[in-house]
Amino acid sequence: MTPRLKLALPIALMMARAGAIAANRLTPQECHSYPFQPTHGALTQDDLARELAELESVGYRPSLDNYSFDISDARARLNAEYARDCLPKGSTASLPSTSG
């Protein structure tokens, strides 16, 4: 396998995965778990991985942004997704805090 192909294949797979995640709606299970709901106890590595995956699904790029101000925009988009998929239509309930 050529070096270019070795580099291009993982990048293509990551982009395809990100596109598939972005196209999906939040499931009821996701709506009722971290980062949308507080945890009961300490955060686990799985909780943090799930939060990062959710942020990446709305455009956050940690490898490029290095925890820049873009995370605020990503959290706002994630909250909008939560409101669209998880809150009852016409609800005025407040969105969960994802600041961490």
Quote the CA–CA distance of 72 and 68 in Å, as a whole number: 8
| 99 belongs to a structural domain | no
pTM over 0.75: no
The rounded Cα 41 to chain-centroid distance in angstroms is 21
* Residue that the structure tokens 């709305």 belong to: 58
Tell me what pLDDT residue 23 has: 55
Domain that holds residue 18: 3-86
| 96 belongs to a structural domain | no
Cis omega (within 30 of 0) on the bond before 35? Answer: yes
Question: What's the domain count of the chain?
Answer: 1
Amino acid (one-letter) located at 53: A
Decide: helix, strand or coil at residue 28.
Answer: helix
Over the stretch 41-74, which tens digit does the pLDDT of each residue have?
Answer: 898 899 899 888 888 888 888 777 566 667 888 8
| 51 belongs to a structural domain | yes
Q: Name the percent of the chain lying above pLDDT 70.
A: 64
Lowest mean pLDDT of 55-59, 79-83, 94-98, name the range.
94-98
| 92 belongs to a structural domain | no
